């Protein structure tokens, strides 16, 4: 069975892409076949993996290319990608104008990926709202909401929660919030500690262990490597491994 996980927060720079790429590669390390899909016009999933952005998402959703035509293998065995680039912004506009049904992305992506024996689809989204983001949320079995533990961190989480409630009520979304993942945590700063506490109070049942601020994650992006390649012994790698454990367990539980 294929499990689809969408990484979403309308707030920018909260660690979405870093999480999408490292979660995808972490699942691969546990023997899973994983498809990483970039729904962000910034095309950064490619950059973090040391690849060149391309118009896979646009071709899938607008040019109507079937999934096998836009899927790419990577140097990492069992890690497959549908890459994005600036044309994804055009896809966003076209989908908004055409008012495609909310299950369109699910149809184009999930069924064909299951045929290809993909265990996990991980969708990275952009920091904006629109048809593309909503379709990515609707396609998800689980939505992972990263949240940088800084000022106004909870606003982004609330916004996504409101959108999810709406697509559940209006369009019978069947998925769940997989978890809220605090990122950029820095135990030394009072702001980090206070924000984490606030998140714990508001979302206790959904809050996952925090990913700490770690310069090595920035270096990964520069080097085009995942944390498991660049620094497998680091605390960041350990924290990502814990996230992978959580996701593996979560996807075993009944929907
Ligand atoms: N835990 C972390 N510690 C330090 N730096 C991090 C951490 N996570 C991500 N970064 C860095 O912070 C920057 C923003 O991260 P990332 O691109 O993953 O966020 P994003 O939410 O995808 O941003 P956008 O909303 O623009 O798509 C990147 O340079 C990334 O390398
Ligand atoms: Mg991003």
Q: What is the pLDDT of residues 168-181, one digit of tens each?
A: 999 999 999 999 99
On average, the pLDDT of the chain sits at: 95
Give the domain range for residue 162: 3-248
* Whether residue 17 has its Cβ less than 6 Å from ligand 1: yes
Give me the percent of the chain exceeding a pLDDT of 70: 99
Is 81 within the bounds of a domain? yes
Residue 160, beta-bridge partner list: none
* Whether residue 88 has its Cβ less than 6 Å from ligand 1: no
* Whether residue 232 has its Cβ less than 6 Å from ligand 1: no
Is 17 within the bounds of a domain? yes
Report the CATH number that the domain containing residue 84 is assigned in CATH: 3.40.50.300
Assess contact for 60 and 101: CB atoms under 8 A. no
* Cα dihedral sign, 241-212-129-66: negative
pLDDT of residue 254: 59
pLDDT of residue 255: 59
Is 254 within the bounds of a domain? no
Instruction: Write out pLDDT tens, residues 223-251.
Output: 999 999 999 999 999 999 999 999 999 99
Q: Considering only CA atoms, which residue is closest to atom 30 of ligand 1?
A: 218
Distance from Cα 232 to the centre of ligand 1, integer Å: 19
Is 165 within the bounds of a domain? yes
Encoded tokens for 123: 């969708």
Whether the pLDDT of residue 154 is over 90: the answer is no
If you compute the radius of gyration of the chain from its CA atoms, what whole number of angstroms results?
Answer: 17
Is 38 within the bounds of a domain? yes
pLDDT of residue 253: 81
Instruction: Write out pLDDT tens, residues 53-92.
Output: 999 999 999 999 999 999 999 999 999 999 999 999 999 9
Is 253 within the bounds of a domain? no
CA-CA distance, 103 to 164, in Å (whole number)?
Answer: 14
| Confidence at 25, pLDDT banded by 50, 70, 90 | very high
* Number of domains making up the chain: 1
Instruction: Write out pLDDT tens, residues 103-134.
Output: 999 999 999 999 999 999 999 999 988 999 99
The minimum-distance atom of ligand 1 relative to the CA of 215 is 4
Residue 120, beta-bridge partner list: 3, 34
Encoded tokens for 202: 């508001």
Q: Which residue has the higher pLDDT, 153 or 63?
A: 63
Question: Which of the ligands is closest to the CA of residue 16?
Answer: 1
* Whether residue 3 has its Cβ less than 6 Å from ligand 1: no
User: Where are the extended beta strands (E) located within 117-209?
Assistant: 120-125, 142-148, 176-183
Is 173 within the bounds of a domain? yes
Q: Which residue has the higher pLDDT, 155 or 239?
A: 239
Q: Choose which residue among 18, 23, 240 to substitute to test ligand 1 binding: the one with the highest number of ligand atoms within 8 A of its C-beta.
A: 18
CA-CA distance, 132 to 134, in Å (whole number)?
Answer: 5
pLDDT of residue 223: 96
- Distances from the Cα of 160 to the Cα of 26, 157, 166, 167, 255, angstroms: 25, 5, 10, 11, 20
Whether the pLDDT of residue 211 is over 80: the answer is yes
Bridge-based pairing state of the strands 176-183 and 3-7? unpaired
Whether the pLDDT of residue 38 is over 80: the answer is yes
Is 255 within the bounds of a domain? no
Helix, strand, or coil (residue 177):
strand
Q: Considering only CA atoms, which residue is closest to atom 15 of ligand 1?
A: 15
Tell me, rounded to whole angstroms, the distance of Cα 213 from its chain centroid.
Answer: 18
Could you give phi then psi for residue 147, rounded to 5 degrees? -155, 110
């Amino acid at each position: 069975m294929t499990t689809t996980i969408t990484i979403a927060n309308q707030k920018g720079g909260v660690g979405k892409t870093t999480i999408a790429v490292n979660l995808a590669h972490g699942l691969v390390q546990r023997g899973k076949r994983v498809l990483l899909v970039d729904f962000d016009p910034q095309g950064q999933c490619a950059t973090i993996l040391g690849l060149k952005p391309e118009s896979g998402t646009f071709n899938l959703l607008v040019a109507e290319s079937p999934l096998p035509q836009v899927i790419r293998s990577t140097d990492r065995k069992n890690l497959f990608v549908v890459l994005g680039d600036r044309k994804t912004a055009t896809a966003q506009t076209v989908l908004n104008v055409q008012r495609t049904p909310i299950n369109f992305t699910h149809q184009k992506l999930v069924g064909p990926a299951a045929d290809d024996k993909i265990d996990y689809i991980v969708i990275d989204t952009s920091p904006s709202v629109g048809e593309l983001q909503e379709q990515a949320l609707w396609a998800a079995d689980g939505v992972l909401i990263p949240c940088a533990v800084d000022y106004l961190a909870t606003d982004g989480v609330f916004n996504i929660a409101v959108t999810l409630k709406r697509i559940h009520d209006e369009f019978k979304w069947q998925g769940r919030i997989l978890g809220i993942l605090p990122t950029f945590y820095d135990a030394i700063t009072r702001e980090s500690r206070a924000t984490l506490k606030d998140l714990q109070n508001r979302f206790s049942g959904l809050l996952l262990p925090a990913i700490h601020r770690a310069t090595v994650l920035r270096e990964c992006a520069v080097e085009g490597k995942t944390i498991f390649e660049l620094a497998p012994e680091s605390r960041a790698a350990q924290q990502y491994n814990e996230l992978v454990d959580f996701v593996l367990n979560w996807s075993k539980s009944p929907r």
